């Protein structure tokens, strides 16, 4: 079943929307280049690059959690935005620190944001776009004036050491955006959204164990069911089809033609999927925003992490029209159209900036600085 915002939806028709005013990302310092992958996987650099476009991926050190990466990215994004007060925190992740409670309330406390609204979004690799839609609704409805949206993953905790198909692709990382209520005509404004899902494909990408199903029927599950599994060939076709269709829907809602798109940022699944979707929209390769070669597939964090990386490198200009699209487990997918804002300097995603983070994290574990650094 597909959810489609009706043409008269207030979210799209009223002038009020979410306006981007800060972005930043963070990846752990430990890089795993292709030549350092396990010998048992029998792969080399050329083989991995040819199939995925990935040269290296980042891995969180032992003891570093999804929440730790989220704090780092969120603190940076708040600093870029000028340290504003926020009224709500949304965290998109498939690798929460615990099944319960949600990560967002603890993140808000670690950042010193007070007793504000905070909740998680679980839409796998589509999580950032789903979180963006939630932020737009929260802001446009008047429930908040400013939202911190964070996407963070430590996929390395879900990977089967024997599964090279997932091991060569996934990396750990986080990114965050600060969004305020504003007008659609402003630079940074989100202009259109599209969301969809199809639960009949829920077994194509999954971690079968670890939830209530396993606890209620423990005899049907084994230790391997705690690992991430994906049926790659089927996923490829679904991902290309759904992201292309969703992107076309958003273009229509934004009243853009494909040639109006200045920059295109898709979920960084693998290079072949990115190329196939770009060709079908179509958006030429030189307009793609991508960093998969250096960080791999970082799940829900992949789109904002690629944008933060491009912003830090000076590759995005104010006024450019951006098309975003994502696909993930569920199956879920979504797209968004926005205009890039004028932003202050954005920190590079692979540098440590403890001062900016510490300013927003008065209650943080002191050992975190050592673990991340």
As given in the structure block, the two tokens for residue 81 are 């935005």
- Residue-by-residue DSSP string for 37-57: S-GGG---HHHHHHHH--SEE
d(CA 306, CA 295): 9
The catalytically annotated residue of 125, 265, 270, 291 is: 125
Region for 104 from its dihedrals, namely left if φ exceeds 0, alpha if ψ lies in -120 to 50, beta otherwise: alpha
Question: 125 catalytic, yes or no?
Answer: yes
Using a 10 angstrom Cβ sphere, with 0-12 exposed, 13-18 middle and 19 or more buried, the burial of residue 236 is middle
* Whether the Cβ atoms of residue 27 and residue 172 lie closer than 8 Å to each other: yes
The catalytically annotated residue of 34, 270, 291, 297 is: 297
Q: How many CA atoms does the CB half-sphere of 185 hold within 13 Å? A: 2
With b for 16 or more beta-carbon neighbours within 10 A and e for fewer, the 38-76 pattern comes to: eeebebeeeebeebbbbbbbbbbeeebbbbbbbbbbbbb
- Residue-by-residue DSSP string for 124-142: GGGHHHHHHHHHHHHHHTT
Q: How far apart are the first and last CA of the chain?
A: 45
Hey, which residues does 56 pair with through a beta bridge?
Answer: 33
- Angstrom CA distances, 313 to 310, 349, 350, stand at 5, 10, 12
The catalytically annotated residue of 34, 265, 267, 291 is: 267
Question: 270 catalytic, yes or no?
Answer: no
- Angstrom CA distances, 328 to 7, 130, 209, 239, 266, stand at 25, 11, 18, 8, 12
d(CA 349, CA 306): 9
As given in the structure block, the two tokens for residue 112 are 């010193």
Residue 140: cis peptide before it, omega within 30 degrees of 0: no
Residues with a known catalytic role: 125, 267, 297
């Amino acid at each position: 079943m597909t959810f489609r915002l009706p043409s008269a939806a207030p979210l799209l028709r009223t002038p009020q929307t979410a306006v981007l005013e800060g972005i930043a990302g963070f990846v752990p310092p430990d890089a795993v280049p292709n030549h350092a992958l396990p010998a048992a996987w029998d792969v080399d650099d050329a083989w991995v690059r040819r199939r995925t476009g990935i040269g290296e991926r980042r891995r969180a050190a032992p003891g570093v959690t999804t929440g730790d990466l989220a704090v780092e990215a969120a603190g940076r994004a708040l600093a870029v935005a000028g340290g504003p007060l926020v009224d709500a925190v949304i965290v998109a992740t498939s690798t929460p620190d615990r099944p319960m409670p949600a990560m967002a309330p603890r993140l808000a406390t670690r950042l010193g944001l007070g007793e504000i609204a905070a909740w998680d979004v679980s839409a796998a690799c589509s999580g950032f776009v789903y979180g963006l839609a939630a932020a737009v609704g929260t802001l446009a409805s008047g429930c908040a004036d400013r939202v911190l949206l964070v996407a963070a993953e430590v996929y390395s905790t879900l990977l089967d050491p024997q599964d090279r198909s997932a091991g060569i692709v996934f990396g750990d990382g986080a990114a965050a955006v600060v969004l305020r209520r504003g007008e659609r005509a402003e630079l940074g404004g989100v202009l259109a959204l599209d969301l969809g899902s199809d639960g009949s494909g829920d077994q194509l990408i999954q971690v079968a164990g670890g939830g209530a199903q396993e606890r209620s029927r423990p005899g049907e599950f084994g230790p391997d069911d705690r690992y991430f599994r994906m049926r790659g060939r089927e996923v490829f076709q679904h991902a290309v089809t759904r992201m292309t269709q969703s992107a076309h829907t958003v273009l229509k809602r934004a009243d853009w033609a494909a040639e109006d798109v200045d920059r295109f940022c898709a979920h960084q699944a693998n290079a072949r999927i990115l190329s196939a979707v770009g060709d079908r929209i179509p958006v030429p390769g030189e307009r793609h925003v991508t960093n998969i070669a250096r960080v791999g597939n970082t799940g829900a964090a992949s789109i904002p992490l690629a944008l933060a990386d491009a912003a830090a490198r000076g590759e995005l200009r104010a006024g450019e029209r951006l098309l975003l699209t994502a696909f993930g487990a569920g199956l879920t997918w979504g797209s968004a159209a926005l205009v890039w804002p004028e932003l202050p300097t954005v920190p590079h995603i692979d540098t440590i900036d403890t001062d900016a983070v510490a300013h927003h994290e008065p209650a943080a574990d002191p050992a975190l600085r050592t673990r991340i650094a």
